[in-house]
Structure 1
Amino acid sequence: MSINNLPTGDDKHGSALRRPGFLAAAAFLGLVLVLAVVVIVTVGSDKDDSGTPQATGPTTAASSAPAGSPADTGNGCGLTDTSQTVPTSTPPNITWQLVKGDAVPTSPIAGPGKVEGPVARCYAHTPLGALLAVSQIADRLGVASNKEAAEILKAQAVPGPGVERNLKLLEGAELGTGTADGQTAGFQFASYTPDTAVINMVSRMNNGSFNTATFTMKWLDGDWKIQLQPNGANSSNVSQVTSTAGYVTWSGVS
């Protein structure tokens, strides 16, 4: 996942909308689709580099939700993850698939439960579900054609001015290269509630540098969806860091 460029010229995480405006240059997490090579990678790197990550707030975890509460509903596609504990170490049983050269994570218990064209959807209503959703959506947007990106935005972005702005841009000439400019390297939860997850993502770029960005995920219509900025960027607080220190290792490509 590479970080997308903002309209201000700021560079990156998640190249979702890595095109003008959302693409903002055109969002951690820019974003897809024809599944190429499937690579199963055991996650659990032990890197401990020095550096200062960009965090937007303290990590918080919702306590276990009682049956019938908002956090206890919404798991479709036969997903079984119900834990409301925010991950502070690399989640187990994660496999990675290459989508146009960009590694995206999957979990049998937290999603995505369905992949339809460029859209990978149906996530558990849990912190892990939100993490998987932001990784999948942002990365797939980052390598998507205009048509694929529009399909992803319509299905997996919270409606708003940023989405409308990008959809208009996507009606024109191709905005992206269709190739990954970096890979997801780690994550850090800034905050979590059953309705909103704010996650800092770090990416290792192809040139060896590290970029971070903050993504906001909203639980809407029974699934996690990405919240774009009004200017169309899919993330905020975009910056460079010297390493992944302070982040939980989260990568399918070493």
Structure 2
Amino acid sequence: MWLRRGARAEESEPYWRQRSWQWSAGFLGIAVVVGGLLALTSPGTEDAGADPARRPAGSGPLAGSAALKDGERPGGCATDDRAGDRLPEAAPKDLKWREIGIGRVPVSASAGPTRFQDEVWWCFAHTPMGAALAATVIPTQMSEPGWRTVTEQQLVPGDGREMFTFMRSQSPDRARRTDATPASTYVGVSVLAYTREAATVSLLIKGDQGFVATSVEVRWSGGDWKVQAGGDGSLYTEVSAVQDTNSYLLWGR
């Protein structure tokens, strides 16, 4: 995460010493808070020719989707949108957990993502629940080697995406531990604002020190929900402690 507050006081320091960048390098995909989805250890030893990060970004399933007309969805995408604009009162009955790296994220056969192609998990319901799942799943993929493809196809085009790409590319990919145990996990969401075109979603996370929350902005673009990066490249707002979780919809386990 690139924090949107307090940045001016740090501008004179090298980026790797700035507190916001230190959070960013370890927090991609809420990695610092969610128990090491990005476990940065020793330099990577994978064959660069097989590195998903170097795969052409335009080769994913949403390439060219920005040209779709209003109401159209990418080929093969179908979701249950009968909930309309009603805010969810419970987690989807078909909710399951899938692994991304060493972490887990909630997915739903009805609300999304319903389609999976390599690192691009896509096709979210055009509902508040679909927006909530997109806000959870898409940023988490940024801790993975295929982040460039996800960025190109699942972040809203613009200056924010360009800044995110630049900042993320400054963080070297490293070999990830396979024995890491997440110390924190997603436990719920709250849809703070919703229209058919945009939503603000607060993610509730539980760690060793209690509950914290951060928010993600998503936009309906090219027939699916995509994350809106801030002008400084941030995908999340600043993390804050949460004492009362009653305003959150809990995923359950």
TM-score, normalization: structure 2? 0.67
Residue 101 and residue 27 in structure 1: after superposition, are their counterparts in 2 closer, same or farther (change >3 A)?
A: closer
Number of the residue aligned with 2:184: 182
Alpha-carbon displacement from aligned partner over 1:64-83 (angstroms, at most 9, x marks no partner): xxxxxx7x764852323331
Mapped to 1, the partners of 2:171 and 2:183 lie a distance apart of 20
Contact 2:184 2:206 in 1 (8 A): yes
Instruction: Check the 8 A contact 1:93/1:107 in 2, yes or no.
Output: yes
Q: Is this contact kept in 1: 2:138–2:154, CA < 8 A?
A: yes
Residue of structure 1 aligned with 2:3, choices 2, 6, 22 = 6
SS of the residue corresponding to residue 77 of structure 1 reads coil
State which of 198, 212, 225 in structure 2 corresponds to 1:196: 198
* TM value normalised by structure 1: 0.66
Deviates more, 1:229-238 or 1:174-183: 174-183
| Alpha-carbon displacement from aligned partner over 1:171-199 (angstroms, at most 9, x marks no partner) | 34426785756311111111111111111
Structure 1 distance, partners of 2:139, 2:79, is: 21
Give the 5 Å matches for 1:1-254: 4=1, 6=3, 21=21, 24-26=24-26, 30=30, 74=73, 77-84=77-84, 85-141=86-142, 143-145=143-145, 148-174=146-172, 182-205=184-207, 207-252=208-253
Structure 1: gaps spanning 5 or more residues: 11-18, 34-69
Q: Check the 8 A contact 2:94/2:110 in 1, yes or no.
A: no
Which residue of structure 2 aligns with residue 50 of structure 1? none
CA distance in 1, matches of 2:197, 2:22: 24
Aligned length: 200
Deviations along 1:120-169, one digit per CA (max 9) or x if unpaired, are 0111211121111111112222x323xx2222111101122222122123
3-state SS in 1 of match to 2:98: strand
Residue of structure 1 in register with 2:63 after alignment: none
Whole-angstrom CA distance in 2 between matches of 1:176 and 1:127: 35
Q: Secondary structure at the match of 1:236?
A: coil
For residue 150 of structure 1, give the secondary structure of its aligned residue in structure 2. helix
Higher strand proportion, which one? 1
Q: Secondary structure in 1 aligned to 2:247?
A: coil
CA-based RMSD of the aligned residues comes to 3.2
Change (3 A) 1:197 1:82: same
How far, CA to CA, are the matches of 2:192 and 2:185 in structure 1? 21
User: Displacement, 1:90?
Assistant: 2.5
Unmatched runs of 5 consecutive residues or more in structure 2? 8-18, 32-36, 39-69
Give the AA of the match of 2:202: N
Aligned residue for 1:162, secondary structure, equals helix
Q: How many angstroms apart in 2 are the aligned matches of 1:156 and 1:183?
A: 23
1:223 maps to a residue whose letter is D
Give the superposition deviation at 1:202: 0.9
Cα distance in 2 for residues equivalent to 1:132 and 1:123: 7
Larger Rg: 2
Q: Distance in 1 between matches of 2:82 and 2:22?
A: 32
Change (3 A) 1:98 1:242: same
Question: Is the partner of 2:220 in helix, strand or coil?
Answer: strand
Q: Pick closer, same or farther for the CA change 1:26–1:86 going to 2, 3 Å.
A: same
Change (3 A) 1:7 1:128: closer
Instruction: Measure the CA separation in 1 of the matches of 2:28 and 2:189.
Output: 10
What is the distance in 1 between the residues matched to 2:6 and 2:184?
17
